[in-house]
A and B are shown apart, each in its own frame.
Chain A
Amino acid sequence: MSVKAAAKPLEMGESDCFLLSIDREMQRTGQGIHLNQTVLELDGVPDESRLREALRTLLERYPVLTFAPRRPFPGFPPVLARSRRPAATIPLRIWDEGDDPAALPAFQEQQLHQTEAEFHAAGTTGLHVCLVRLRDGTSQILFTWRHLVLDGIGAEMLLCETAAIASDGGGYAAFATAPQVRAAKRRTWWGHFRAAQPAANYFRDLLREHRFRSLGSAQPQARLGRFVVETLSIEDSDQIARQAALRGGLMTAHFYLACATKAHHEVWRGRGEGPGAYLMSLPVRARKPGSKGPLFQNNMSFLFFSAAAGEAADVATLCIEFQRQHARFLKEGLAGSFLQLQYLMRRVPSRLYSWHLKHRMRGEINSFYHSHTGEFAPDLRTFIDCPVRNGFHIPMVFNPPGTGLFLSHRDGRLTVTMSWREGVISNEEVRLLNSAFIEALRTG
């Protein structure tokens, strides 16, 4: 893709527009902008000047990194367009670990809790990079990225692209952008409206039947995003893979979601109360497996799962129930219908979009966040001559729901990332949620 072609405004897809409403709601409630972080752990320290040069080329090749959302006219769907004040370079910060081992997580959390003005202080950009030099001679690359421009798999591809540029200048991405999941075209607005009805009815019936709450729903909103990351041993990861196969067969995603549900249920039980029911949205990657693009925008759709509080303590029961719901979602075309709902909402101002969402969902979005992004950048073996030890994502959740449990794996080791908003759960509950999740993964 030529730079000139890439500099044209980009239509924002259904998922992009949904995330834009979330981003605006986060800013309105003092939760910063919707940022995530992708971490690459390296043996050795990459050459700073080569990294800087690679980032310069990256920005030159992909001007979309300096784009910002904008509505051409009121009532029009938003586009990603060149910012009036584009960044001249992707900011690269060098951070040396001092004597305090807690300083790095605090630094990362601070990176993830920025306002739009702070993030764009040196000009608009969708990506900040930090090279962390650790005392033991290893290092980390932190990609802090704005969810309006990238998604998790895109961030992995962008790391691959950066490594490729630094080593041989070669491009990784077959093509840079274009959302892969779009609502099926209808001839009229009424056609889209009718196609959205099955999803609208699904949520109406679900909300009539169940009262679900998130852990963060009753808490103050403007609190710092926190996280813990744990990479499990190969033995533990093997044991978890066996449990996943035992409970879910080849459809392991249901098992991981079931474990996250059970872990949240343990926290509710600890509080001596229950949420009534759980509602979860599971992102589904839209890029066909093995494809090397697109890099940018959000390329995912969502599946929805629910669980009654009475069944949330048993992983086996949840797995069967989630498989049944997954089949129903596909058979009844609910995924496509939900896309039509999102399509209709694209023209709605973001503030109204999020208000409508919260109003329809009775103040909640879902019970918690969860995803398993699969194997982390399996093709990325070295980064600027440094062997890659591990890689994972730190998705920053907003409140409500205020908590999220995320997984990825690399070279046979599973990494568990738990994110939450400070104040949503106590320190004791943080430990309980994390340990209950890992215990559920191990024992099913």
Chain B
Amino acid sequence: MGNPPCDSNLEEDLIQVIRQSLLDLDPDFGSTSDFFAAGLDSMSIMQLLLILEERYGASLTLSEVSRENLATPQALANLIREKQSLA
């Protein structure tokens, strides 16, 4: 998957990584587009959590695994930044 991105490219990197390994994202999928509408489901969420942990060092608690936090690249990136700042 290559190196983790610098902070400013986080949303774009998330889209690329998820497109490669998880979902069939449209070419115009943007930072506010909805992963759930693109097919993120119960089984693929666990894979997403693993990507967040291994690539970005962001380990989510069960209470953080919410639709609000995972819905868009922007929300996910914010969560990762928050986690990284606490680390």
Which among B5-13, B40-48, B78-86 touches the partner chain? B40-48
A248: B residues at CB distance < 8 A: 42
Are the CB atoms of B65 and A249 closer together than 8 Å? yes
Give bound CA distance, A330 to B65, whole Å.
17
B40 (CB) vs chain A CBs: closest residue: A289
Give bound CA distance, A201 to B44, whole Å.
25
User: Interface readout for A220-257 with B: 1 if CB under 8 Å, 0 if not?
Assistant: 00000000000000000000000000001111111000
Are the CB atoms of A251 and B24 closer together than 8 Å? no
**Known contacts A288-B24, A331-B50, A374 near B65 by CB under 8 Å:** no
> Among A250, A290, A330, which residue has its beta carbon within 8 angstroms of that of B70?
A250
Are the CB atoms of B42 and A289 closer together than 8 Å? no
B66: A residues at CB distance < 8 A: 249-250
B39 to chain A, nearest CB (A): 2
- How many residues of B are in contact with the other chain, CB < 8 A? 20
> Among A254, A285, A327, A374, which residue has its beta carbon within 8 angstroms of that of B50?
A327
- How many residues of A are in contact with the other chain, CB < 8 A? 21
A283 (CB) vs chain B CBs: closest residue: B43
Are the CB atoms of B45 and A251 closer together than 8 Å? yes
Are the CB atoms of B45 and A250 closer together than 8 Å? yes
Q: List 20 A-B contacts (CB under 8 A).
A: A249-B65, A249-B66, A250-B42, A250-B65, A250-B66, A250-B67, A251-B42, A251-B43, A284-B43, A288-B23, A289-B24, A289-B39, A289-B40, A290-B38, A323-B46, A323-B62, A327-B50, A330-B46, A330-B47, A374-B41
Contacts A249-B65, A253-B43 given; 4 further ones with Cβ under 8 A? A250-B67, A289-B23, A289-B41, A290-B24
The 9 closest A-B pairs by CB, nearest first: A289-B39, A288-B24, A253-B42, A290-B39, A252-B42, A330-B50, A326-B46, A251-B42, A249-B65
